[in-house]
């Protein structure tokens, strides 16, 4: 039975979706004002694991990830560049998908963009105005936190003091908000050049929080199963989403909240505002592979902070290469018919332990340890020629199933047997003797595209994965 920590209750709970067999899942996705940094991808990969493991457990998953493509930084940057919001963000949205795919994340079923959902946000704000949860002030519209007594139930922050303190300030009439904690649902443009939409609630643009309430409820319903995001979003973003959604519908918004701990750099959260960040592209330029980075991100469970450490990252590179080597060796092992019972038991135990580890709050480090133990035991059996044909098929099947969740081995079709590699190397040598450098380069490129690196040494050609 799958269990994970629900931020709302603060407890590890058994997961039971609202409708049997299907899960509706929302993840707060990126703000596309820049390339995503590797901390953002820590959360994206963690969300990918939630998605993939739910599918492993047999659920039909509807996964929504929003793209925030209108907010203050995007407006400032697009204006600096003299571009429309769409033209400015296009480059970063393309880059997002490139990085997302490279890091082995499965694309969510629905990826709504904020700018494409202004009418949905406007009607949600209208509902909040009608029900007194919102008020207009100076051309903008704010959420009235005092109207939602449960405010703070997710973050467990007590706001009583703040609200009382704020009401004194209303008397002095210094603030356009009734309460310092009230937040903007709709913002009046500061000047004529700022992007704005003409709507029934006036000319303006949405505040950040409203998009996630409007888009999640549009695609997943007023109450849905799981909402996730980085730990920084618990307050205020997710607290505000609850206030907006439950204020408008009177129903529970989300049943389970999952928050991913941050990726840190030298003890500090990686963030663009701190400037201490690396993008996936930066790491790639330093020579790290997508598979190694994904492995590194999975090596620490989502509920613990992870430190970006280049030695550890280099270790992850080697580890993934070793695991891929192991599968290639198993794939090309010459086996005899039959089944080795002891090895069969090892496979069964590994399958059980993998699932038990993932069931226990999605513990990817336990899941990876299971894969390592298995590879050690099977490598030994391979060396002793103890792997029989039925074991081989069973083990390959098991690795494939585990990899539907972890996705660290990669596509088998892309994997080359040692014998295939050797025959291509021989063909390349032959081409070089004929001085057919076109063909010899072609072979080198084909091998490179499948992760095989050639080194020409004075003792002949060496290769490595
Ligand atoms: P943003 O692009 O800032 O809207 O963030 C996109 C996602 O990345 C959100 O779910 C954030 O909570 C998450 N996130 C931001 N910084 C980090 C970090 N250093 N480590 C892990 N997740 C992060
Ligand atoms: Zn959100």
Residue 264 Cα: closest atom of ligand 1: 19
Residue owning tokens 């993840």: 27
Contact present, 30 and 68 (Cβ < 8 Å)? yes
CB atoms within 10 A of CB 10: 10
Ligand nearest to the Cα of 303, by number: 1
Residue owning tokens 């609630």: 201
Residues with CB under 5 A from ligand 2 (ion): 28, 212
Domain 265-406 CATH assignment equals 1.10.730.10: yes
pLDDT of residue 160: 66
pLDDT of residue 161: 58
Token pair in block for residue 155? 């973050």
Class assignment of domain 3-260?
alpha beta
For residues 324-342, one letter each, b for 16 or more C-beta atoms within 10 angstroms of the residue's C-beta and e for the rest, the string is bbbbbbbbebebeeeebee
Residue owning tokens 């190397």: 425
Tell me the CA–centroid distance for residue 358 and ligand 2, in Å.
Answer: 26
pLDDT of residue 170: 41
Which is nearest to 8 in space by CA: 225, 311, 196? 225
For residues 96-129, one letter each, b for 16 or more C-beta atoms within 10 angstroms of the residue's C-beta and e for the rest, the string is beebbebbbbbebebbbbbbebbebbbebbbebb
pLDDT of residue 274: 86
Q: What DSSP line would sit under 31-73, residue for residue? A: BTTSPPBHHHHHHHHHHHHHHHHHHHTT-EEEEEE-BB--SHH
Q: What is the mean pLDDT of each run of 10 residues along the chain (465 residues)?
A: 98 98 98 96 98 98 98 95 97 97 97 98 98 96 97 89 47 68 94 93 96 98 98 98 98 98 92 89 93 97 96 95 94 95 98 98 98 98 97 98 96 69 89 92 84 81 80
Tell me the CA–centroid distance for residue 70 and ligand 2, in Å.
Answer: 13
Has this prediction a pTM greater than 0.75? yes
Which residues, at least 6 apart from 90, have a Cβ–Cβ distance to it below 8 Å?
none
Q: How many residues does the chain have?
A: 465
Residue 40 Cα: closest atom of ligand 1: 8
Q: What DSSP line would sit under 87-130, residue for residue? A: HHHHHHHHHHHHHHHHTTPPPPSB--BGGG-HHHHHHHHHHHHH
Tell me the CA–centroid distance for residue 317 and ligand 1, in Å.
Answer: 24
Ligand nearest to the Cα of 208, by number: 2
Pocket of ligand 1 (CB under 6 A): 28, 30-31, 39-40, 42-43, 68, 229-230, 232-233, 260, 262-263, 269-271
Domain spans, the chain: 3-260, 265-406, 418-464
Tell me the CA–centroid distance for residue 424 and ligand 2, in Å.
Answer: 50
Mutation test residue for ligand 1: of 27, 43, 212, 266, the one with most atoms within 8 Å of CB: 43
């Amino acid at each position: 039975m799958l269990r994970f920590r629900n931020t709302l209750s603060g407890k590890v709970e058994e997961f039971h979706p609202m409708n049997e067999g299907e899960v509706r899942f929302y993840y707060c996705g990126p703000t596309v004002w820049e390339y995503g940094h590797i901390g953002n991808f820590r959360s994206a990969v963690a969300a990918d694991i939630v998605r993939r493991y739910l599918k492993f457990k047999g659920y039909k998953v509807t996964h929504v990830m929003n793209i925030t493509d209108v907010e203050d930084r995007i407006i400032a940057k697009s204006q600096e560049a003299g571009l429309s919001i769409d033209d400015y963000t296009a480059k970063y949205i393309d880059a997002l998908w490139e990085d997302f795919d490279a890091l082995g994340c499965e694309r969510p079923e629905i990826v709504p963009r904020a700018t494409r959902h202004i009418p949905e946000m406007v009607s949600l704000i209208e509902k909040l105005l009608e029900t007194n949860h919102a008020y207009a002030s100076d051309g903008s519209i704010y959420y009235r936190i005092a109207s939602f007594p449960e405010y703070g139930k997710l973050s467990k922050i007590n706001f009583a003091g703040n609200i009382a303190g704020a009401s004194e300030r209303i008397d002095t009439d210094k603030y356009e908000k009734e309460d310092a904690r009230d937040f903007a649902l709709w913002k009046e443009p500061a000047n004529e050049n700022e992007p704005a939409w003409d709507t029934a609630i006036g000319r303006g643009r949405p505040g950040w929080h409203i998009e996630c309430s409007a888009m999640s409820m549009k695609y997943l319903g007023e109450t849905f199963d799981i909402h996730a995001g980085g730990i920084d979003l618990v307050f205020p973003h997710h607290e505000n989403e609850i206030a907006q959604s439950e204020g408008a519908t009177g129903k529970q918004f989300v049943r389970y909240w999952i928050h991913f701990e941050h990726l840190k750099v030298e003890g500090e959260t990686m963030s663009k505002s701190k400037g201490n960040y690396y993008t996936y592209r930066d790491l790639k330029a330093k020579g790290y592979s997508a598979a190694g980075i994904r492995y590194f991100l999975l090596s620490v469970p989502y509920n613990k902070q992870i430190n970006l450490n280049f030695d550890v990252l280099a270790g992850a590179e080697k580890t993934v290469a070793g695991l891929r080597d192991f599968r290639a060796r198993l794939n090309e092992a010459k086996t005899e018919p039959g089944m080795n019972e002891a090895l069969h038991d090892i496979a069964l135990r590994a399958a059980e332990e993998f699932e038990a580890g993932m069931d226990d709050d999605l513990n990817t480090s336990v899941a990876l340890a299971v894969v390592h133990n298995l590879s050690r035991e099977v490598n030994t059996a391979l060396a002793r020629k103890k792997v029989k044909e039925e074991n081989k098929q069973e083990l390959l099947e098991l690795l494939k199933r585990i990899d539907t969740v972890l996705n660290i081995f990669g596509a088998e079709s892309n994997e080359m047997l040692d014998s295939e590699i050797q025959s291509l190397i021989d063909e390349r040598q032959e081409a070089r003797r004929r001085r057919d450098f076109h063909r010899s380069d072609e072979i080198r490129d084909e091998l490179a595209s499948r992760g095989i690196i050639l080194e020409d040494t004075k003792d002949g050609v060496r290769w490595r994965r």
